[in-house]
């Protein structure tokens, strides 16, 4: 991508509408804009970050045996009446009527739709388990949307559903997904914790939340200092003692980015999702559902990784792997070299943002830091004369120089160093 032909409207100052750092930085970095309360436009760079997160999720879902599908945003009220949630979901469910006066809603989640579909197709235990997921836009008419992408009304979510023939199978599906979530968040490079949680209005028998640790989080997590117990405080009556071993506990704030539920029979019973077992007896499918807040991950990653100059994206989330600054676009020798590097980096399969704009160096340095690309390369008359390209690791702040005569191998070595710097962050958590 050439910066000069990209739509990246960066801002020097934070708009007054933003209060928390991720919201401010996403606006300043030209990654999103608000359309109305709790509803945002993802600009090209913000969408690239969403795509990067989605890519990791898709790989791990596939590895866990889940297939992708895409369900509709508009849903008929009938299904929600059948599950009982038309009554119980409350005003968060945005309801409306179509031209024929039929009641509809915008999908805040998809248990009803997928259960309806599966019950219509699956008749035999031989067809189970069914494991499906989608990455889709959800709408929840939140009482108070806030903090930008952290709690929007419209947001992007990965939701997965499993249907099993028996309890052992269902527990296996749950376990497989729990492990997949651990791998996803580890790969994304964010410090997180899996905790026991309340099931809320979705129902079911038990659940775990995946929390990104950040002081600005809306949730409070209890950690036991003695054993490995960790839970959302909602779940613990005496927040001063570990309910498992009685040991001392500590509290930390977190942002919920994932939630896995053992649903049991809640939906299959209400909507009669049944199959015939090997003895010809009718039985209900045992369900699980598993969500990841894709757009919220972007906000959470920024809450956790930023400094005074801007975003410090973990490599797996960054909209670009590398930003290449041409400080002297009028200097033919520098530009020739910059074009050459730009081509070489793309040849290595990297996502590169090439800053070829006719701007002063200071503007380019500021934008590079603000945008949060993990690797910065700087080329100017000074560095070209010395046969090097300067490099900066956005995360560690370390600067260096790579030889232009042996650029490819010098760059790959440096990239490994940059990646290792993130390895320590993710090893430190997420058991």
- For RNA, the closer CB: 51 or 198: 198
Q: What three-state secondary structure class fits 337? A: helix
Q: Which is nearer to RNA, 34 or 283 (CB)?
A: 34
- Residue 348: what are its φ and ψ, rounded to 5°? -85, 0
The answer to whether 244 and 224 have CB atoms below 8 angstroms apart is yes
**Which of 126, 175, 360, 387: binder of RNA (CB under 7 A)?**
360
Residue 205 interacts with RNA (CB under 7 A): yes or no: no
CB-wise, 60 or 159, nearer to RNA? 159
Residue 288 interacting with RNA (CB under 7 A): no
- Near RNA by CB under 7 A: residue from 7, 16, 120, 349: 16
Does the protein bind RNA through residue 217 (CB under 7 A)?
A: no
Q: Which stretch binds RNA (CB under 7 A): 54-62, 119-127, 374-382, 410-418?
A: 374-382
Q: Considering the rule CB under 7 A, would residue 5 count as an interface residue with RNA?
A: no
Q: Take residue 138 and report the two structure tokens written for it.
A: 């959800």
For the CB of residue 13, give the shortest distance to RNA in the complex, in Å: 4
Among 2, 126, 281, 382, binds RNA (CB under 7 A): 382
Instruction: Compute the Cα dihedral for 196, 199, 205, 209 and give only its sign.
Output: negative
Instruction: Give the span between the Cα atoms of 291 and 306, in whole angstroms.
Output: 26
Q: How distant is the alpha carbon of residue 338 from its chain centre? A: 33
> DSSP characters for 403-419?
ESTTHHHHHHHHHHHHH
Contacts of 382 (CB under 8 A, 6+ apart): none
**What is the pattern of x (binds RNA, CB under 7 A) and - over residues 248-267?**
--------x--x-x------
| Smaller CB separation from RNA, 128 or 193 | 193
Q: Please, which residue, 242 or 256, has the CB nearer to RNA?
A: 256
| Cβ contacts of 401 within 8 Å, gap of 6 or more | 383, 386, 388, 389, 390, 391
Closer by beta carbon to RNA, 165 or else 370: 370
**Residue 370 CB, nearest approach to RNA (Å):** 5
Task: Give the residue, chosen from 4, 67, 127, 201, that forms a contact with RNA under the rule CB under 7 A.
Answer: 201
Is residue 134 part of the contact set for RNA (CB under 7 A)?
A: no
How far out from the chain centre does Cα 17 lie?
23
The pairs formed by 328-333 with CB atoms below 8 angstroms and a separation of 24 or more are 328/380, 328/381, 329/356, 329/357, 329/358, 330/358, 331/380, 331/381, 331/384, 333/381, 333/384
Torsion angles phi and psi, residue 241, rounded to 5: -130, 145
| Options 2, 4, 11, 63; binder of RNA; rule CB under 7 A | 11
Residues 71-130 binding RNA (CB under 7 A) are: 90, 92, 108-109
Upstream peptide bond of 129 is cis (omega within 30 degrees of 0): yes
The residues that touch RNA, with contacts defined as CB under 7 A, are 10-17, 19-20, 28, 34, 36-38, 90, 92, 108-109, 138, 140, 142-147, 151, 157, 159, 197-202, 207, 218, 256, 259, 261, 291, 293, 309, 327-328, 330, 360-363, 365-370, 378-383, 390, 392
């Amino acid at each position: 991508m050439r910066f000069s032909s990209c739509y990246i409207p960066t801002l020097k100052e934070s708009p007054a509408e933003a209060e928390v750092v991720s919201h401010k930085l996403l606006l300043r970095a030209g990654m999103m804009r608000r359309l109305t309360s709790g509803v945002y436009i993802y600009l090209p760079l913000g969408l690239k970050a969403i795509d990067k997160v989605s890519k990791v999720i898709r790989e791990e879902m596939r590895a866990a045996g889940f297939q992708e599908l895409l369900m509709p945003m508009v849903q008929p009220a009938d299904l929600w009446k059948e599950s009982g949630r038309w009554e119980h979901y409350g005003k968060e469910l945005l309801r409306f009527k179509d031209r024929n006066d039929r009641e509809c809603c915008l999908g805040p989640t998809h248990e009803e739709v997928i259960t309806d579909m599966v019950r219509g197709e699956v008749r035999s235990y031989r067809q189970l388990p069914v494991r499906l997921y989608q990455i889709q836009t959800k709408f929840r008419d939140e009482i108070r949307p806030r903090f930008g992408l952290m709690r929007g009304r419209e947001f992007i979510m990965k939701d997965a559903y499993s249907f099993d023939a028996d309890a052992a199978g269902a527990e296996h599906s749950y376990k497989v997904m729990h492990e997949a979530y651990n791998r996803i968040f580890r790969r994304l490079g964010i410090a997180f914790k899996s905790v026991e949680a309340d099931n809320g209005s979705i129902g079911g028998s038990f659940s775990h939340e995946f929390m990104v640790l950040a002081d600005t989080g809306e949730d409070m997590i209890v950690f036991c200092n003695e054993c490995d117990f960790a839970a959302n405080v909602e779940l613990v009556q005496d927040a001063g003692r570990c309910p498992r071993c009685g040991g001392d506990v500590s509290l930390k704030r977190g942002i919920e980015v994932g939630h896995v539920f053992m649903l049991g029979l809640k939906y299959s019973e209400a909507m009669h999702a049944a199959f015939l077992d090997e003895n010809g007896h009718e039985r209900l499918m045992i369900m699980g559902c598993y969500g990841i807040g894709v757009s919220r991950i972007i906000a959470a990653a920024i809450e956790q990784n930023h400094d005074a100059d801007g975003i410090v994206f973990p490599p797996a989330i960054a909209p670009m792997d590398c930003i290449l600054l041409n400080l002297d676009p009028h200097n033919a020798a520098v530009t020739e070299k910059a074009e050459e590097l730009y081509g070489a980096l793309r040849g290595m399969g990297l996502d590169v943002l090439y800053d070829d704009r006719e701007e002063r160096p200071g503007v380019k340095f500021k934008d590079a830091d603000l945008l949060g690309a993990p690797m910065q390369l700087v080329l100017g008359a000074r560095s070209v004369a010395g046969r090097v390209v300067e490099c900066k690791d956005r995360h560690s702040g370390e600067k260096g120089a790579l030889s232009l005569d042996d650029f490819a191998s010098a760059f790959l070595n440096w990239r490994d160093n940059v990646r290792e710097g993130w390895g320590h962050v993710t090893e430190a958590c997420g058991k």
